[in-house]
Structure 1
Amino acid sequence: MNESALLSVRDLRVAFGGKAVVHGIDFDIAPGEKLALVGESGSGKTVTALSLLRLALNAEVTGSARLAGNGEGEGPRELLSLPERALRGIRGKEIAMIFQEPMTALNSLYTVGDQIAEVLELHEALPRRAAQEAAVQLLADTGIPEPQRRARAFPHQLSGGQRQRAMIAMALACKPRLLLADEPTTALDVTVRAQILELLAGLQRQHQMAVLLITHDLNLVRRFADRVAVMEQGQLVEQGGVASVFGDPQHPYTRKLIDSRPERRLPPAPALDAAPILAAQGLQVSYPVPRPGVAGWFRKGRFVAVQGADFRIRPGETLGVVGESGSGKSTLALAALGLLPYGGHLDIAGQRWRTSSTGDRALRRQMQVVFQDPFSSLSPRMTVEQIVGEGLTVHAPELDGAARRARALAALADVGLTEAQFPALLDRYPHEFSGGQRQRLAIARALIVEPRLLVLDEPTSALDVTIQKQVLGLLQHLQRERGLSYLLITHDVEVIRAMAHQVIVMKDGAILESGEALRVLDAPEHPYTQKLVAAALG
């Protein structure tokens, strides 16, 4: 063990059912140090962190993970062989963890304040009233507005950023010496991500706390970490200071990660006078909401989600829609797909949406959608043939089974999936593919009916940086080959820079700025756009 280290890990090996997933890794974390553990999904990052606290279910863990003494008469402790009762005293008190998805990590049946107070009652033996007061103060320390009110809220009543702040408050309640942060900003908007990062850095300095940051976001590592350790397929392939590793990477995998920024390889912008595939004028979407008091008994209020939006998408053009969660961008996309009632004018290839499904069928063939999370958007009970060929049963019912099968294979080949790679490809199920491959299946499903426009709703936000680059490259290739138009919904400014000809910036349902993408991103005029771009650049 490194005597100066807070945590010293040697020959850590993790296996499930005899299959090794972490292969004898070594690393140290010094007191007050920020170490980033980076790599793609499946590289073993999260399993490594969970194994340190023996939280990986059914894992076979060997090796050594020694935690330095706490200065209260307690000497170094071997976490991997410590009795469960003693380990419970360390979890949350000396080593705390922030999980990737706070909505699943927080208990939906208890208020946020009660969950934070529980940690203080268990580890600090605080009386309930004092623990609840301390919970409110912890929420205030993390920058949540109206902390007393938010402490009485349930997790579903908070925004994503507020839930993550509540998780941080819970993790820091007992002033741990080491914080394990597992993708703490992955699901957050770019500006909220910057706020959470600043919050973590400030609290780390204030408490002189060590942090093990688990992430695949290299911009996050550059801005936050002191040292970086790179994992590939369960092995540590490179370690060192952030500046040295990023400035002069030694391992090919590290170079691959660093070179994975999206590249702008777009076809030329169409002529300005080209007839649009999609045109909106004064587009407005609103929802009924309860009104407070007695007035709500008689009449509903209205929440305006999209306020008078104007935009056009020409053949072969990509319009990027960027903004934070709640800005109205996904609502705009649903209205464009004819899935929500709307006010104003919305034309697809010169035609309006009708109210009947049969009347809209021809328009729906012109316009298809690729969703954010391919695992949840693909039915686990359907084969690849059924998933990809489903659109043909609606839009080309004249085709027989053999013709549909041939079209499905052709669509899959267009997105880089062939039977040479995957024997019996059409008979497989979604769970047999990786995240990037599932997103290719989703794109093939959309392309098989030969649409003219694709709505891309955060198509790469659930993917690792290297897979994101591959999927964006595929979309660019398809656009050049087929002249496709895209309505791209995202909060990732780098994706907009790589993919969009034109961009509109939305906040609170309104378009604040629009224009040629590179001009808007390089010289933003509106303060909100400036804030988005600055947060993305770090």
Structure 2
Amino acid sequence: MTPALLKVQGLRVAFGDKEVVHGIDFDIAPGEKLALVGESGSGKTVTALSLLRLVQNADISGTARFEHDKAGAAARDLLSLPERTLRGIRGKEIAMIFQEPMTALNALYAVGDQIAEVLELHQGLSAQAAHEAAVQLLADTGIPEPARRARAFPHQLSGGQRQRAMIAMALACKPRLLLADEPTTALDVTVRGQILDLLADLQRQHGMAVLLITHDLNLVRRFADRVAVMENGHLVEHGPVATVFGAPRHPYTRRLIDSRPTRDVAPVPVDPAALPVVAASGLRVIYPVPRPGIKGWFTKGEFVAVQGADFRIAPGQTLGVVGESGSGKSTLALAALGLLKHQGQLDVAGRQWAAGGASDRGLRRLMQVVFQDPFSSLSPRMTVEQIVGEGLTVHAPELDVRARRARSLAALADVGLTEDQFPALLERYPHEFSGGQRQRLAIARALIVEPKLLVLDEPTSALDVTIQKQVLGLLQRLQRERGLSYLLITHDVEVIRAMAHQVIVMKDGAILESGPVGRVLDAPVHPYTQKLVAAAAT
């Protein structure tokens, strides 16, 4: 048998007296792709970071023997090496792709300079040679105009381009082991497929091993050779992907596999005479942009973010808007919420947005929003009572403190959060809750003013598959009980299939295809829709 490139035995990680990884064993062969899967908090990211001792204030024990690059030399234990020696291994022999490239990349340096720094430190290249190599690495990852992109800062690149730049940096020194922590979580389905294909291609070219950290089971099926499943810091099951997915032995593995979104929505009767909650005709959103040359001194150019959109949302109906980043779907939602200037006709319950202020207050009560990332959309300085009850101070100022508190508790109970589960619930802060619980707080905040429509902007993309299923089930139940309408913005075709009655497909600000969800997703007409559906199925 081929000796393991990395052999981990008895790995334990603790913070103070709390152990989060409980003596796990696994190994990776040269050129192998191993997926480490589990929900948030299962310990998979801490496990990967611990191999390079990148977890601060952690007590790490066990062994992680990494095969030496010199023939005949004994394997080195990464967990006991001096920091100086380990620093020479990080980035050179073992590299890492972090989950969120926008925070992992330094915002103050061009991406080419950040890649070149790795080459200068580990390979001793001159600044000029390192820059030329960085440009070539960006080209190898498929970034267009690599020389120009090398001079760009992270915020000037798209999400997919930032992830490609992170991959270029990780592969700069041709490492033998790549640790990829959720490398595609925040990406569109088509870009996700491109990044996955890129990783597989580069892995074959360089013969490196990959430890993939993910909760995306479709990604595991497509990419990995073997899979190891973690639950609460324990390794509960491992083996070849086909074996584990085809006949899972552990209940937790079975629960993960069964966590695909399920459709449980009631059909909405078609009544052309019924007043829609939202109706748009010829909706356009235009942003001014600078013009090149001397003309830019006097006039501005135009970027059309939404091009003449037509749609309507009936009471109790969900309209799904699907498309890649930059397609205009979030701009469409902001226009519907009256937060962007727009052209064309846009009616909310038969009324139009005015210039703002008190005249729009009634419409704002009818339309509320749930954002993508509950951690950043909830103020860390406000208690649950302040967060959930804030809308009542604006839309129901006649209520006293006791009445607002009662309404807040009722809204929290509607989303499955009670004081029996969480003593002193209203006095808690967002950081005291899990990701799924924070999203329930965000939904309660939106529901407390009794809206007619919720704008759901990627409401589950930041959640694990099991939590995603719970949140979607909650939204489906609330729709049935309250007759709510949803404007669902997402790039996840499976979420659209589970939630939507009607769907529109957007690209470059234009609606390419629209209609009932079954017809559009099962028999797509436009080539772009066909590509989206095909990418989601792999």
Please state which band the TM-score falls in when normalised by the shorter chain.
over 0.9
2:314 matched residue in structure 1: 314
Encode CA deviations 1:313-362: one digit per residue, 9 max, x unaligned: 00000000001111110111011001111100000111111113111111
1:112 aligns to 2:111 (yes or no): yes
User: Larger deviation: 120-129 or 50-59?
Assistant: 120-129
Question: Does structure 2 retain, via aligned residues, the 8 Å contact 1:322–1:329?
Answer: yes
1:197 matched residue in structure 2: 196
1:23 matched residue in structure 2: 22
- Structure 2: which 5+ residue stretches go unaligned? none
* Cα distance in structure 2, aligned partners of 1:481 and 1:360: 27
* Cα distance in structure 2, aligned partners of 1:201 and 1:3: 21
Question: Does structure 1 retain, via aligned residues, the 8 Å contact 2:321–2:489?
Answer: yes
- Aligned pairs for 1:162-177 (under 5 A) are 162-177=161-176
* Amino acid in the other structure paired with 2:499: M
1:461 aligns to 2:474 (yes or no): no
* Amino acid in the other structure paired with 1:508: D
Question: Does structure 2 retain, via aligned residues, the 8 Å contact 1:270–1:314?
Answer: no
* Cα distance in structure 2, aligned partners of 1:223 and 1:272: 44
* Amino acid in the other structure paired with 2:150: A
1:388 matched residue in structure 2: 388
* Amino acid in the other structure paired with 1:337: L
* Amino acid in the other structure paired with 2:482: R
1:44 matched residue in structure 2: 43
* Cα distance in structure 1, aligned partners of 2:422 and 2:176: 48
Alignment partner of 1:489: what SS? strand
* Cα distance in structure 2, aligned partners of 1:165 and 1:173: 12
Alpha carbons of structure 1 residues 200 and 71: separation in structure 2 relative to 1, 3 Å: same
* Cα distance in structure 2, aligned partners of 1:383 and 1:132: 49
Question: Does structure 1 retain, via aligned residues, the 8 Å contact 2:2–2:29?
Answer: no
2:505 matched residue in structure 1: 505
1:72 Cα shift? 4.9
1:457 Cα shift? 0.6
* Amino acid in the other structure paired with 2:389: G
Encode CA deviations 1:19-47: one digit per residue, 9 max, x unaligned: 11100000000000000000000111111
Alignment partner of 1:419: what SS? coil
- Aligned pairs for 1:80-95 (under 5 A) are 80-95=79-94
* Cα distance in structure 1, aligned partners of 2:502 and 2:231: 37
Question: Does structure 1 retain, via aligned residues, the 8 Å contact 2:13–2:22?
Answer: yes
1:118 Cα shift? 1.5
1:533 Cα shift? 0.8
* Amino acid in the other structure paired with 1:363: L
* Cα distance in structure 2, aligned partners of 1:353 and 1:197: 43
2:289 matched residue in structure 1: 289
* Cα distance in structure 2, aligned partners of 1:132 and 1:440: 47
Alignment partner of 1:340: what SS? coil
1:480 matched residue in structure 2: 480
Question: Does structure 2 retain, via aligned residues, the 8 Å contact 1:32–1:211?
Answer: yes
1:515 aligns to 2:500 (yes or no): no
* Cα distance in structure 2, aligned partners of 1:50 and 1:137: 28
1:383 Cα shift? 1.4
* Amino acid in the other structure paired with 1:529: T
* Cα distance in structure 1, aligned partners of 2:346 and 2:450: 21
Question: Does structure 2 retain, via aligned residues, the 8 Å contact 1:97–1:181?
Answer: yes
- Aligned pairs for 1:399-418 (under 5 A) are 399-418=399-418
Encode CA deviations 1:367-397: one digit per residue, 9 max, x unaligned: 1111111111111111111111111111111
1:73 Cα shift? 5.6
1:138 Cα shift? 0.9
- Aligned pairs for 1:130-529 (under 5 A) are 130-273=129-272, 274-529=274-529
Q: How many residues align?
A: 537
* Amino acid in the other structure paired with 1:319: L
User: Larger deviation: 210-219 or 167-176?
Assistant: 167-176
Encode CA deviations 1:448-485: one digit per residue, 9 max, x unaligned: 11111111011111111000000000000000011100
Q: CA RMSD in A?
A: 1.1
* Amino acid in the other structure paired with 2:132: E
1:3 Cα shift? 7.1
1:272 Cα shift? 3.8
Alignment partner of 1:409: what SS? helix
Give runs of ≥4 in structure 1 deviating > 4 Å.
none
Encode CA deviations 1:403-462: one digit per residue, 9 max, x unaligned: 111111111111111111111111111111111111111111111111111110111111
Encode CA deviations 1:258-277: one digit per residue, 9 max, x unaligned: 00000000011232423211
Alignment partner of 1:332: what SS? helix
Alignment partner of 1:412: what SS? helix
Alpha carbons of structure 1 residues 424 and 391: separation in structure 2 relative to 1, 3 Å: same
* Amino acid in the other structure paired with 2:365: R
Question: Does structure 2 retain, via aligned residues, the 8 Å contact 1:270–1:315?
Answer: no
Encode CA deviations 1:123-182: one digit per residue, 9 max, x unaligned: 112222222111111111111111111111111111111111111111111111100000
* Cα distance in structure 1, aligned partners of 2:404 and 2:153: 49
* Cα distance in structure 2, aligned partners of 1:361 and 1:198: 48
1:108 Cα shift? 1.7
* Cα distance in structure 1, aligned partners of 2:252 and 2:356: 52
Identity of aligned residues (%): 82
* Cα distance in structure 2, aligned partners of 1:39 and 1:173: 29
* Amino acid in the other structure paired with 1:500: A
Alignment partner of 2:321: what SS? strand
